[in-house]
Chain A
Amino acid sequence: MGIIEAILLTVITAATPLVLASLGELVTERSGVLNLGVEGMMVMGAVLAFAATQATGSPYIGILAGIACGALFSLLFGFLTLTLVANQVATGLALTILGLGVSGQIGEPYVGMSGIKLQPIVIPLLADIPFLGPLLFKQDLIFYLSIALVIGVNWFLFKSRAGLKLRAIGDSHGSAHALGIHVIRTRYLAVMFGGACAGLAGAQLSLVYTPQWVENMSAGRGWIALALVVFASWRPWRLLAGGYLFGAVSISQLHAQAFGIGIPSQFLSALPYAATVIVLVLISHNRRTTLINTPASLGKPFVPDR
């Protein structure tokens, strides 16, 4: 395996949790809900996935536990913001703080324990393709899921009727309600999809990226995922590209150190945010693209007339 392949493999591993968490948040935000609790849902997914894997010995059970935990945790957010109409920003921040705290508590007995790594699934024939084969077809289940989900979400949003309704709610929940679309129900589902994806991303961290439990192991990836959604202007394919770009940047600090290149690691870890700011400026420069892609009712609470 050449050095380039080795580097690219680490990029894929670093990018997968970003793609997954931000894809979930993309769907949530397309429905008009801003959930800033991605970091919290992710770290909860990570600890529960690790604990379930330890308890059962099967990382696949761990994956399911991570997904379920993320979805349940987001349900708390959904109840507070959709049913009780709490402020979405404040609730999201609280969810992150809560998730970091609770996961530390749950994970305490697991600190320092060696984990069980999720093994790659080798796809016959395709895996024998030189260069690409080992990169793309000797990967773990979560990587395959991340790619399938990007394709699936893109199809869902832009080809299916349910996706059309979801986008309509995100654009104008009042109009959607007037058309008889179930705004709150759809938003619950979108929030839970976001939570499930964040939980899956967390499971990837504790089962693939570094198969062990470390407190705060999401390490700000939830925030990068949030930035990534804006960076991708709420479009799944751009999000995939952006996820790999951000993944590459975040992993490059390690490689830069390995090669003795003297770029301060803080500078590199700040790069995704700087890139997001630049993209924000660029897309807001063209108001038409902003208007067509940005969910107009993002973050606004919906209370139907009675």
Chain B
Amino acid sequence: MSAVGASEGSPLLAVRSLTKLFGSFAACNGIDLDIRPGEIHALLGENGAGKSTLVKMLFGVLSPTSGQILWKGEPVRIPSPGAARRLGIGMVFQHFSLFEALTVAENIALSLSPGISLSKVAEEASRLSHLYGLPLDPKAHVADLSVGERQRIEIVRALLQHPELIILDEPTSVLTPQEADRLFETLAKLKAEGRSVLYISHRLEEVQRICDRATVLRHGKVTGACDPRQETPASLARMMVGSDVASVTAAGTNTKGEVLLEANHLSVPARTPFAVTLKNVCLKVRGGEVLAIAGVAGNGQGELFDALSGEYPVAEASAVAIRGKAAGNLGITARRLMGAGFVPEERHGHAAVPSLPLSDNLVLARNQSDRKTFLAGGVLGIIKHAVVRIASKRISETMDVRKSGDDPAAGSLSGGNLQKYIVGRELDRQPAVLIVNQPTWGVDAGAASRIRQALVDLAKSGSAVLVISQDLDEIFEVATEIAVVSEGRLSDVYPAHDLTREKIGLLMGGMYGKTEGGEVAHAH
């Protein structure tokens, strides 16, 4: 690899056998990487492959256990993010490192060298943000901004330090396709200025579209370095996963049954100033259907899930119907007893109590719906641990949950395995209606495909499945019908094969087929 680097000019940043140990676990194991001036370099890998650990070392957040980092050929130590910035490395984090209580200008000022007045920062931020096509109001409080706008702050903040290398950690995971396009234009501008970009992603088509070179990580090791344009998505995926990912067989031709889940002019006022008001949401899911609801984060997905699951019941009973019976004013337990199952978005602390073992988490979710099976002693409600453990074991085996020990604490499982368990916990009941919010958020490709297949199979067996997701790949894999939620309104429901990514993108911006004629509304 170094021979290749030498033949095409010296790299801006070179990493030599960089290793990071957490205890005896090697998150990064002897990694080599070269980033040349003026290139967009992709870092590919599944969750847990070591991408984040690697970039944290490059940005001085973590210190490497061994190995070398070379900046313009010179060996350097990067003990802190400040040191990284002084070298000329900027970073846009995946989970934003913004301060909600502060204004945009204050957020930006925090990462600049001292001695620059706040008003000057505001001016400069405003100028740069327009130059790169990322408009921002410096006086706005971050708490009031959308996710896309927050990312702009991160980018502008990184740009203000005139970095030679910008690291972007999964930047498009929170953007609409149109917002992502705008980001790609910005990246192209940066490249044209001779700056380098390290682009971390697991979205292969994006990487193929904008990146010049790619380095693939798996289990903390480099498994490939290539020109992504010369590869196929399948060959890249093989490098990432190590084997071919089982493709999900879609529900496509299921026989449609009766309407099992219905929302009837469901309107819910916002509970907090940051919540979204649901406006007149109507949907019907028949047995055998998988209705996927697409949308950019924060457009009412959480609120819709809360209303449909009964976490926050609504006043009118008729607004939600499960298996033909009005359920709008009922709570979660009552709805479970009607045959529905729910998987919320947040695994830790919402779908599961991290500190409790899996079997206890099973009882917590199903102690009413499976009262006779799991509990003894009538009103005393004594838990039949032996029975629960057998059920827990059955779920783990069905869903291929990999764990240490028989019944470990939920929090000790990796995200993907815990999610498989949580989905399995609901599927185990064979619910007539299943509502899932972000089923594979932050889950590795293998687990994701297992979960998606389980959802599709459930629909095939005659249940109604509603999937709320931000991942368009996932939606196209599982859905028979698709709707888009935008600012608390739900679009019409379309058959999945009638929609394209572009059309969904427009629906995400809130344009309900109004693209022809007149001004195109400002998306987001």
Contact = CB atoms under 8 A, between A and B. Distances in A.
A295 B81 CA distance: 24
Contact of A179 (B62, B97, B144): B97
A174 interface: yes
A178 B81 contact: yes
Given A175-B99, A180-B81, A161 B93 contact: no
Interface residues of A, number: 25
A288 B109 contact: no
Contact of B110 (A165, A286, A288): A165
Contacts of A168: 99, 102, 106, 110
Contact of B62 (A175, A181, A287, A305): A305
A291 B101 contact: yes
B111 A179 contact: yes
A287 B274 contact: yes
A164 interface: yes
B273 interface: yes
Given A180-B81, A288-B273, A292-B143, A171 B99 contact: yes
A178 B61 contact: yes
B143 A291 contact: yes
B141 interface: yes
B243 interface: no
Contacts of B109: 161, 164
B167 to A, nearest CB: 12
A164 B273 contact: no
Contacts of B97: 172, 174-175, 178-179
Contacts of B100: 171-172, 291-292, 296
A172 B143 contact: no
B102 A164 contact: yes
Main secondary structure of the interface of A (DSSP, over half): helix
Nearest to A286: B273
B101 A179 contact: no
Among A174, A179, A292, A306, the most chain B Cβ lie within 10 Å of the Cβ of A179
B80 interface: yes
Interface string B36-77: 000000000000000000000000111100000000000000
Nearest to B56: A305
A161 B82 contact: no
A286 to B, nearest CB: 8
Contact of A167 (B61, B101, B144): B101
A286 B143 CA distance: 13
Contacts of A176: 99, 110
B98 interface: yes
Given A172-B100, A178-B97, A179-B97, A164 B110 contact: yes
A179 B143 contact: no
A116 to B, nearest CB: 44
A171 B101 contact: yes
A293 interface: yes
A306 B143 CA distance: 30
Interface in B402-446: none
A181 B109 CA distance: 12
Nearest to B93: A178
A305 B22 CA distance: 11
B272 interface: yes
Contacts of A175: 96-99
Given A171-B100, A287-B273, A179 B110 contact: yes
16 contacts: A168-B99, A171-B102, A172-B100, A174-B97, A175-B98, A178-B93, A179-B110, A179-B111, A180-B81, A180-B85, A287-B273, A288-B144, A291-B143, A292-B100, A305-B62, A306-B62
Question: Which 4 A-B residue pairs are closest in the complex by CB-CB distance?
Answer: A180-B82, A175-B97, A180-B81, A171-B99
Given A167-B99, A288-B273, 13 more contacts: A164-B102, A168-B106, A171-B99, A174-B97, A175-B97, A175-B99, A178-B81, A179-B111, A286-B273, A287-B272, A287-B273, A288-B144, A305-B61
